[in-house]
Each structure stands twice: as C-alpha cells, then as structure tokens.
Structure 1
Amino acid sequence: MVERIQKLLARVDRRDRWLVGVSGGRDSIALMELLVRAGFSDLVVVHVNHQLRGGESDSDARFVEELAGRCGIPFYQEAVDVKGRMEAEKKGIELVAREVRHEVYARALVAYEAKGVLLGHHADDQAETVLYNLLRGSNGLKGIRFENIVNIDGVSMRLVRPLLEIRRSEIDDYIARYEIEYREDASNAEAFTARNRIRHEVMPLLVDIMQREVVPSINAAAEVSREQGDFLAKELEMDQLLDPQGRIFLPAFKELDFVLQQSVIFHYLKRHGVPDLSRDLVARCVALKDTDVGAKCNLPGGRWMRRKEQRLFIQE
C-alpha cells in the first residue's frame, strides 16, 4: 500500500502548501500520517466541528489539534451548527455537512494561500457513492474524482483525494501496523442514513451474492462512464451552441443527436452550479426544445430552465 500511495502522491506537488482535511477518523488520520512520511512539509490541518455529537465532537476537535501540534503542523478549525442549518434550509444532513466543510475549506484556503485541499476518500467510499448516486437517479455512474475544482463564494478550490484507489481494508491494516491512534465516530456504525445502510448492509450482501469483491467492478464501471462523459464534453464544443448571452441556441441544439443533447444540458446545468443532476432532470430540460411542451422546467434551488425566443437558459 505505501508504495502505491507514493505513486499516487507523486501526482501532487509536495513543495506547495496544502490543506489536509482531518476529521479525526481513521481515513483522514491515515492520510495525514502518510503525507508527513512522504515529506510534505507545508501542510495545514483543517478540522470542521459539525457539532452533531455534543461533547464527542469537541473531543474530536481537541484530538486533531493535539495531533497537529505534535507533528508541528498549523491547525485551523471552525465549529458550525449543522443541525440548525439543516432545519433552517430544509436540507439533508449529508448535503449540509458537505456544504459546510467546503465553505470552511475555502476560508482556510484563502487565509493560508494554499494550493488546494487533500481529502481522505478511498476506493470503498467511491463504490458506495456510485451506488448511492445511481439509486438516486443520477445522470450516469457518478462517483468521486481523484481531483476536481469547486467554486465556493468566489473561491476556486482544488480538491485532491490521494487515497481514492486504496481499499478501506488496506487503510485498516496500515493503522494497525503502525499503531496509529484515531477517533471512532460511533454514528458511522449506525445504519440510520442511506449511505450507512449501503456500507453496512448493501455492500456485504452484494459480496455474498457475487461471492467476490464488488468494489473493483463498481469503480471500473464508474471510470468508464466518467471517461465517456469527458469524451463527449470535449467533442461538444459547447461555446458554439451558445449565443453571446450564454444561452443555448435551439436551432443548433436540435441538430444534435439525442445523446449529445443530454450531454449539452448536463454540462450546461453543471456549469451554472445546479446541484443533484439526475437523469430525469436532464431529460425534462431536453424536452423543452419542443414547443408542444411547457416553456419552463423547475431546477433545484428555486431556479428554472426556460425556453424563450429559440433559446434555452436558466432563470432565477
């Protein structure tokens, strides 16, 4: 594992300053330890206290702060009332928690002038995410990328996941081998969220049914889907389909094959920051090209995709 990690880390310039997101759990702790061993000398540990487990959440924060101190790494933390924000915004816990982390990372990125954020997602996280998104009706086998850019409050933030090809069992072995201390979030073992149920119930059942490991097959299929999507995106030449105001020009759009029309809509919505891009949502937006259907379609976040004057565009 360590040798493969070294190859993966070679894709990240260790001379740059990097934030590393550390919750205190085994995955993020293992990542931090591996980065230190690999000679990353300009790290900043960032911890987000979601305040979901009372005193345990505060203990996690203290644990990570003490560990960063022992390693001589600067420490940045913020505490956020995730539950209160969930109730105020009527959103699910996973979505709010992710939004909060990204916002905290963006502020830390600016404060420390860092290159990006290193995160501890691994291969099993990838497979669980692919299944979760597939069952929610995502457009294709949508998983986690090794690297991507997110824009938060005007901050363009690079997210990199060096452990994405490493299995959870390998991380467990590494933690045990070097007797690395970490914090166990008891809620991760409770099957009360969809993602936890996929982890603890669905994945073991699939292994039992297939009589072999299923994570490599799921991730390989997701990689093929990603490559096909990237190829279509390159072939589309999106800007040639847009008018000077950035709206989709319907006469040119209608000349495309239906599969390419779907890809245009998907990338157009993604470019404009529309979340939860399901196959159904993309299909409903594509249908707007025909005048015998309604002229607008609801989008997540209170926006619309609208047809007007031979154009498709997003309306606030």
Structure 2
Amino acid sequence: MSFADLHQSILRVPPGKWAVGVSGGADSVALLTLLSRRADLTLHVVHLDHELRGEESREDARFVAELAARLGLACSVARRAEIEPTLSDRSTNVEARLRACRHALFRRVVRENALAGVVLAHHLEDQAETVLMRLSRGGWLWTLRSMGLDSRVGDLTILRPLLPHRRARLREWLVSIGQEWREDSSNRSKQFARNRARAAMSATGVDVGQGGELAASLVELAESASRLCAWIDAALAPLPERFCAGELAKLATILARRAGMRWLAAHGCDPAALSTNVLDRFIAMARDAATPSRQHFPGGVLVRRRGGIISVELPRAAARSSRAVPRSFPDA
C-alpha cells in the first residue's frame, strides 16, 4: 500500500527545527514517525502528562520518551501540575485548561530551544468534531472557521500537515511499519465535549472514522466559513479609535460583530473572551441610546458613549499622563 499522500502532506513542514506534540496516541505517533523520515528536520518531542488517569498517564509519558529515544530525538516531558500554576487565565472548562497547559508547554520548549514552532497531528475528523462542538454551543460565523494547515496562537506558530487525512489512514500507516501506539481510555469518557461530539456523530449511523458524509459536510462548512470570513475581513473597514455610534449601528449584525471584535481586541480585550453576547452588548451601545453609556468589557476595557461618540475611557492616572505629554507634530 502506498502512503505517498501522507508523505506529500509532511512536505508542507518547512525545513528546520520544530517541536512535535506527541500524546502517544495513534495520530501523534503517526505524525512523529512520518516527520522523522525527513533528513532536513530537527525534531524535539513534547509531551504533557495531563495526570487524569494515574499510572496509565505515566505509562503514556514513558512510551513517548522511549519512542523519542529510539528515534534519536530530544524529548521534553512535563506534568500538568508543573504547568497549570503558570497560566495567567485558568478556564473553568477542563478541556480549555488542558489545551492552555499544552500551549504553554509548547511555547516554553520552542522558546528555550530556539525552535520554529510546533507540529500537531490534527486530522479531518478533528476538524469535523470541532465544528460540531462549536455548533452545539451556538457558534457564529467566526467560530465555525476551519483549523488552518498553519496558524499562530499568540507568539506560537502551529502546523497541522495531516489535516486533510482521515484517522483511519494514519492507523494504516502505523500498521504498515509495525509501530505500536497508546490508547487513551479517557477518550471514552462523556465528561469531555469532544468525546460527546464523536459519539453523537457515530450515533447518526455515519461514522466519521469510516468516511461518512457528515464529517465531509462539517469540514465543507468550516472551509466555507473561513472563505467568507476572509472576504469580510478584506472588505470591512476598521473602526477608528473614536467613532460615531451610527457607523457601527448601520452595519448588518454579522458585520457589526466582526467590526466590534476587531476594535475591542485592538484595545486590549482577549479575542477568545469576545462571545456573541459580549459583542451584541457592544453593538447595543451603538444602536440603543437607552443602554448604559459606560460599560466594561473583557480585560477591564471600559468603553464610553458620549454625544454619540464611542471610545475607550482611560483610567484617570493614564488620562492625566496623556494630558501631561503634548502630542505635537513638526511643521511640514
């Protein structure tokens, strides 16, 4: 059986030094073994022990460390208890908190070893499950965008070269080379939203792992959302520092939400905290004069509406400092 399609996808990773996120499961082990066959890559294996399954979790960590050693690769293993206290924002959602821990570990390893970024093993079913989870939470257009083959989360570059491929294809590769992997028993737990999404898709009788149409439709939805978002971003003019409420009020809601998200993020709000409820509250400040004229938004950003003009209200100390330094420009 030929695996030219997988090897071709792996060529998307530029030559250089990269971290590789490896859980020990089939997907990440397939990614690692494929990458390790490239002579122009210097790989550093990264594993986070989530400490959710006791000895089973520790066995996963040992498996990954031994696999890295056998391949002659550097390896960093950390426990959740080491990373979690360093997080600036600890989400109450377990899955979000674990993802934040992994990203924090990836950033640390990338920074300390001067790596280009991290390569992850997301595949087509991961994409479909992510879209289904976001739909179930009432996601809007921007949250339905597909994961990209490459992206940046803050200062971390993330590559996902296996995104077009199905889970079963990666297992076929591992079987062909006689490579074992670990099975995570927590994948059967209904505590996690991703597992519930996977179970819901299987319950339709169209198993995403068997080439079902549901997975393909969800991925098509995500890709269409990405294209539409890109078009809107290119066409939508940014709101100025201080703007007339009417500029935002006249926009269709889907455009007003995006304009509001960009403006709030530019003024210090965490984009991840800008839910539709938060954005609609911001839009209401422009559309309804009866709404409070001073409102706080995520990150402690205070927005003010005065005389039909919307702006960020600086803390008093900052405002005094701003007034103390005249903003003058040289004569032309």
Higher deviation after alignment, 45-54 or 35-44 = 35-44
1:137 maps onto 2:142 in alignment:
no
Q: Out of 239, 256, 260, which is 1:261 matched to?
A: 256
For the residue of structure 1 that corresponds to 2:52, the secondary structure is coil
Please give the residue correspondences for 1:16-27 in structure 2 after superposition, counting only pairs within 5 Å: 16-27=16-27
Partner Cα separation in structure 1 for residue 313 and residue 258 of structure 2: 16
Q: Out of 144, 150, 153, which is 1:150 matched to?
A: 153
Q: What residue ranges of structure 1 are gaps of 5+ in the alignment?
A: none
1:293 maps onto 2:291 in alignment:
yes
CA contact (8 A) 2:304 2:313 kept: no
Partner Cα separation in structure 1 for residue 72 and residue 81 of structure 2: 29
Task: Give, as a single letter, the amino acid of the residue that structure 2 aligns with 1:285.
Answer: F
1:275 maps onto 2:278 in alignment:
no
Question: Deviations for 1:269-307, whole angstroms, at most 9, x for unmatched residues?
Answer: 55542325443333232222132223356655x645633
For the residue of structure 2 that corresponds to 1:47, the secondary structure is strand
Partner of 1:104: 105
Please give the residue correspondences for 1:1-316 in structure 2 after superposition, counting only pairs within 5 Å: 2-13=3-14, 15-81=15-81, 89=90, 91-140=92-141, 141-151=144-154, 156-200=155-199, 202-208=200-206, 212-238=212-238, 241-243=239-241, 250-269=245-264, 272-290=269-287, 291-295=289-293, 299=297, 303=300, 306-309=303-306, 310-313=309-312
Change (3 A) 1:314 1:29: farther
CA contact (8 A) 1:250 1:312 kept: no
Change (3 A) 1:84 1:168: same
Partner Cα separation in structure 2 for residue 98 and residue 45 of structure 1: 17
For the residue of structure 2 that corresponds to 1:37, the secondary structure is coil
Partner of 2:318: none
Change (3 A) 1:81 1:219: same
CA contact (8 A) 2:19 2:46 kept: yes
Higher deviation after alignment, 33-42 or 1-10 = 1-10
Partner Cα separation in structure 2 for residue 178 and residue 285 of structure 1: 55
Deviation at 1:189, TM superposition (A): 1.9
CA contact (8 A) 2:133 2:194 kept: yes
Task: Give, as a single letter, the amino acid of the residue that structure 1 aligns with 2:220.
Answer: A
Change (3 A) 1:134 1:314: farther
For the residue of structure 2 that corresponds to 1:18, the secondary structure is strand
Partner Cα separation in structure 2 for residue 171 and residue 296 of structure 1: 53
Partner Cα separation in structure 2 for residue 212 and residue 29 of structure 1: 24
Deviation at 1:91, TM superposition (A): 0.9
Deviation at 1:123, TM superposition (A): 0.6
Partner Cα separation in structure 2 for residue 220 and residue 73 of structure 1: 37
Change (3 A) 1:167 1:250: same
CA contact (8 A) 1:123 1:165 kept: yes
Partner of 2:330: none
* CA-atom RMSD in angstroms: 2.9
Task: Give, as a single letter, the amino acid of the residue that structure 2 aligns with 1:121.
Answer: H
Task: Give, as a single letter, the amino acid of the residue that structure 2 aligns with 1:184.
Answer: E
CA contact (8 A) 2:122 2:160 kept: yes
**Moved runs in structure 1, 4+ residues, more than 6 A?**
82-86
Partner Cα separation in structure 2 for residue 137 and residue 103 of structure 1: 28
Change (3 A) 1:31 1:298: farther
Q: TM-score normalized by structure 2?
A: 0.81
Task: Give, as a single letter, the amino acid of the residue that structure 2 aligns with 1:4.
Answer: D
Question: Deviations for 1:150-193, whole angstroms, at most 9, x for unmatched residues?
Answer: 12xxxx11011111111111112222222211111111122232
Partner Cα separation in structure 2 for residue 303 and residue 215 of structure 1: 39
Q: TM-score normalized by structure 1?
A: 0.85
Partner Cα separation in structure 2 for residue 281 and residue 171 of structure 1: 40
Aligned residues: 303
Deviation at 1:204, TM superposition (A): 1.2
Higher Cα radius of gyration: 2
CA contact (8 A) 2:284 2:291 kept: yes
Change (3 A) 1:297 1:168: farther
